Amino acid sequence: MTDDAWVRMPPLPFEYRGTAAVHRFFTATAVHRRQVARLVPVRANGQPAWGEYRRDPASGALHLSGIEVIALAGDRISEITRFETTLGPHFGLPRTLG
């Protein structure tokens, strides 16, 4: 990551800037991130991105839980933006996977 990397989650006002803040964020959310069962690669404005799917314990189906977009500065991550599931259709991501 770049030293001034960002993590953002629009439309929520949560933003973390700099490697220390980003590290604290990912440490605090590690339990939730372990629940991701599948990543489906997509592109967003030419940037690498993916849909994150979590398994429903009752049905076993995988449900879209968010979309992550990465901005790169050379070979380093300069920004991670997490979008809500409502944008899934714009990326061709289904709401559920069997």
Q: What is the pLDDT of residue 34?
A: 82
Q: What is the pLDDT of residue 48?
A: 97
Residue 38 lies inside a defined structural domain of this protein:
yes
Residue 1 lies inside a defined structural domain of this protein:
no
Residue 77 lies inside a defined structural domain of this protein:
yes
Angle at CA of residue 56, ends 66 and 67, nearest 5°: 10
Residue 74 lies inside a defined structural domain of this protein:
yes
Boundaries of domain holding 11: 6-97
Supply the mean pLDDT for the chain: 92
Q: Which of 37, 14, 26 is nearest to 77 (CA)?
A: 26
CATH classification at residue 14:
3.10.450
Q: What is the pLDDT of residue 11?
A: 81
Exposure of 53 by Cβ count < 10 A (0-12 exposed, 13-18 middle, 19+ buried)?
A: buried
AA letter at 82:
R
Q: How many domains does the chain have?
A: 1
